[in-house]
Structure 1
Amino acid sequence: MLRDGITGDWIGTFMGHKGAVWQARLSPDANIAATAAADFSAKVWDTHTGECLHTLQHSHIVRAVAFPIQLNPQVLATGGVEKKLRIFDLTRSEASSPTSPQGPSSSANGAGSGSSGSMTSYEIGPGVHGGTIKSIVWNQDYNILTTAAEDRKIRWWDLRSRYPVVEYSVEGTIGSCELNSLATQPNDPGILSVAAGKSVYLFDGAAPGRLLKKVDFKYEVASVAVNNEAGRFVTGGAGEDTWARVYDLHTDEELEVQKGHHGPIWSVSYSPDGKLYGTGSEDGTIKLWKACREPYGLWR
């Protein structure tokens, strides 16, 4: 589903997948979206019409998709249970490019299946991943990609050599791996935040493999997001602790406990301006939380 990021209002639904949708990503300009699903495919959508532009077939469940941070993405990275990191060229197919913006439509029900998996693609680092790829992050440097896999390793890849530049092993199963940068700070390299086991790992977004800090908790952490400008980070709990907690980025002091979810919080994300954050839970709800002092959006 596509929703308004400030109000949560429903804009439209992308129809076409035949299995669980594991991940969804918007391009930086929000004109196209990509989804990774259990039906062995990734799909690319026009966010204005809801049309499916491309269907990228895989041989197993697709868990992760990623666009470059740069505007007007022409490529898409995918990964999943195949343990293969693939880069697809979205320009080399029979499908036409997205139509001109027509404004959000509440009837974004995908017509047709778009071009099927005949798109040009190549694999990065065959045989390197020892487990399902759960997350892919495109860095500010276009040539660097980060993957998080079930083999408990974070890898930074150079697209030119197609091999890892750095590998970092974490303790515990990886829940989330995200690059947190603010749209209000152009060219912000951001902070790469990883939730794994009972720990949060924060890496320098500009220097592959450089660990800024590791924070340990008494509870299982399913997800984490950082707002560097405000000096805050948010964790989503798994297991018996299903709360969202806000911490001071510099002292690790717990500042807020947000209660309301009744299942593991598998996804946490700050808005591009850092003024609110969203939590997605196994309880079937997404909650939006205000992260600033001034009036904002629905919080007046």
Structure 2
Amino acid sequence: MDKKKVAVPLVCHGHSRPVVDLFYSPITPDGFFLISASKDSSPMLRNGETGDWIGTFEGHKGAVWSCCLDTSALRAASASADFSAKVWDALAGDELHSFEHKHIVRACAFSEDTHLLLTGGMEKNLRIFDLNRPDAPPREVDRSPGSVRTVAWLHSDQTILSSCTDMGGVRLWDVRSGKIVQTLETKSSVTSAEVSQDGRYITTADGSTVKFWDANHFGLVKSYNMPCTVESASLEPKYGNKFIAGGEDMWVHVFDFHTGDEIGLLVIAIVNKLYLDAACNKGHHGPVHCVRFSPGGESYASGSEDGTIRIWQTGPLTHDDTEAFTANGSTAKTKVTPDEVSRKVEDLHIADEGKTKDKGEAGKN
């Protein structure tokens, strides 16, 4: 299979403060989209494939901690430190609804059927707003034991997932009864919780650990220690054979889902030029706060303290993504460490800098 030979990250500028949340829409007839939340108070919508800026949602007066799109990518939602959660028209950019809270709102999520918006934050309350009756009081479930950090829906909107900023564990709430029915135990607070696209797994990041849970029976499937404290993790949605994690060391790490082994940088030598497959990525200039795979798995995005979003291309997916092109055009399995790659890059000298620049630009198309 022809594999992508150049892995140059698309760097998306625009935010003036740290990027703290990212969310990809499902694939729609118009493609797929990426929304970002930042402490600069202005969520941004982009083309999920190219990273091109589409628009900025203006209206919040405080840091935006969380953002999401509904399944058709026609509406966006954001949760802010200005004590509000807002729903936006993703086509026109207009504010549709503003739901006032009594404290900072840290998380928001559209239900699968798009009729409901779930919010949580420093009030330690989970609220469910009916978007068909936006003026009606929200429904509140049992009080959360701590300040809410993340929220998500699962089981066709019958279950709510939430984690707290000040204690470990993920709590699962039955929507009908409003009660906690299960707790997934972790030692550290869970800073990232993602339900896999096929609904099979819950991926959590807590401290220096990434865990995978059975989303139906809630058992722990896998637990891997990370090379640093990580803030976010995401499972590849198509084959589920790898996952990414980002955190304080400013790298985006890629791991094998089945073994937990880090997939080293794949070195591709073609016509005496050196390219790097985006298997482990250094490029941010601050801690990585959020990572997410695109809905088709062809790329993944990372958001950082440095205010940028980087979209890393994985190329066409196969069941074995550890192949690298050799100089004669054949494929060979190659695994090297980041230090080895750094030494190889330092030893590489290309006289014509203009050609090098052109090559980097070509990787963006």
**So what's the TM-score if we normalise by structure 1?**
0.83
- 1:98 matched residue in structure 2: none
1:159 to 1:9, Cα distance in 2 relative to 1, 3 A: same
Q: Does 1:252 align with 2:260?
A: yes
Q: Does 1:174 align with 2:190?
A: yes
- TM-fit CA distance, 1:204: 1.8
Matches within 5 A, 1:155-174: 155-174=171-190
- 2:286 matched residue in structure 1: 263
Contact 1:290 1:299 in 2 (8 A): no
- 1:137 matched residue in structure 2: 152
Q: Residue type matched to 2:229 in 1?
A: E
Q: Residue type matched to 2:228 in 1?
A: Y
Matches within 5 A, 1:149-298: 149-150=164-165, 151-181=167-197, 188-207=198-217, 209-227=218-236, 229-238=239-248, 241-255=249-263, 256-293=279-316
Contact 1:90 1:119 in 2 (8 A): no
Distance 2:260 2:60 in 1: 41
Pick from 112, 136, 149: which aligns with 1:69? 112
Contact 1:135 1:147 in 2 (8 A): yes
Identity percentage of aligned residues: 41
Distance 1:190 1:277 in 2: 20
- 1:100 matched residue in structure 2: none
User: 1:124-150: per-residue Cα shift (whole Å, max 9, x none)?
Assistant: 112xx2321111111143211110112
- TM-fit CA distance, 1:206: 2.9
User: 1:233-257: per-residue Cα shift (whole Å, max 9, x none)?
Assistant: 001022xx11000001001111132
- TM-fit CA distance, 1:169: 2.3
Distance 1:292 1:69 in 2: 29
Distance 1:199 1:293 in 2: 29
Q: What are the ranges of 5 or more consecutive residues in structure 2 without an aligned counterpart? A: 1-43, 264-278, 318-361
Higher helix share: 2
- Counterpart of 1:195 in 2: which secondary structure? strand
Contact 1:193 1:200 in 2 (8 A): yes
Distance 1:141 1:12 in 2: 30
Q: Residue type matched to 1:90 in 2?
A: L
- 1:87 matched residue in structure 2: 128
Distance 2:257 2:297 in 1: 14
- 1:18 matched residue in structure 2: 61
Distance 1:271 1:69 in 2: 18
Distance 1:168 1:205 in 2: 10
- Counterpart of 1:172 in 2: which secondary structure? strand
Q: Residue type matched to 2:252 in 1?
A: A
Distance 2:58 2:121 in 1: 21
Distance 2:136 2:313 in 1: 41
Q: Does 1:121 align with 2:119?
A: no
Contact 2:169 2:189 in 1 (8 A): no
Runs (4+) of structure 1 exceeding 6 A deviation are none
Greater RCO structure (CA 8 Å; 6+ sep): 2
Contact 1:56 1:119 in 2 (8 A): no
| Greater Rg by CA | 2
Distance 2:60 2:289 in 1: 21
The size of the alignment, in residue pairs, is 261
Distance 2:163 2:232 in 1: 13
**So what's the TM-score if we normalise by structure 2?**
0.69
Contact 2:204 2:211 in 1 (8 A): yes
Distance 1:283 1:140 in 2: 36
Distance 2:216 2:241 in 1: 18
Q: Residue type matched to 2:222 in 1?
A: K
Distance 2:187 2:227 in 1: 14
Distance 2:177 2:210 in 1: 29
